[in-house]
Amino acid sequence: MPKHMEKSSTRNILLLGVVTYSMALAIGCLIHMPKVIEGAPQNSDKLLHGTAYFFFCLFWFVYLFLVGFKNYTFNKILFITIGWGLFFGMVIEILQSEFTTYRSGDLWDMLANSTGILLAVLLLYILKKRLNRIKTKF
C-alpha cells in the first residue's frame, strides 16, 4: 500500500474512533439510565465522569497531535483539546438540564469532568517526549 494511503487510512481510523467515542459519551450522558447500583456511595458517578473525560481528552489529543493539526505545537494542541473537552462537557450538562426530565445538569459533574481532563493533561506532559518521537513517524 502506498505511504499516502497508509496515512489516510490511519487518519480515518483515528477520526472514526474519536467521533465514535464522543457520540457514545454524549448518548450515554443523555439517555435515561436506571439506577444500577442501589447501595453505591453518594456522588460515586463522579468517578465515571472523570474517567470518561480523561479518555475523551487523551483520544482527541492523540488524533489532533498525530494527524489532525500536524503543524501545531504540542502545547497548542493541548490547549485546543482542553477547551474542546470543557466545552463538550458544558454542553452535555446544559442539554441534561434543559432537555431531559430524567437527568440534571450538575456543577459537580463539570468539576469531575475537569478533573479527568487535568489528569489526562498531566499524563500527556509525562509522555510528551515519546509522543513527539511518534509524531515524526506520521
Question: Which pLDDT band holds residue 4 (cuts at 50, 70, 90)?
Answer: very low
pLDDT of residue 123: 98
Question: Which pLDDT band holds residue 5 (cuts at 50, 70, 90)?
Answer: very low
pLDDT of residue 2: 41
Q: Answer yes or no: is pLDDT of 6 > 70.
A: no
Q: Answer yes or no: is pLDDT of 43 > 70.
A: no
- pLDDT (mean) for 48-63: 95
**Cα–Cα distance, 102 to 114 (Å, whole number):** 23
Q: Answer yes or no: is pLDDT of 56 > 90.
A: yes
**Cα–Cα distance, 100 to 122 (Å, whole number):** 34
- Give the Cα-Cα-Cα angle 71, 75, 80 (nearest 5 degrees): 80
**Cα–Cα distance, 124 to 79 (Å, whole number):** 12
Question: Which pLDDT band holds residue 70 (cuts at 50, 70, 90)?
Answer: confident
Q: Residue length, the chain?
A: 138
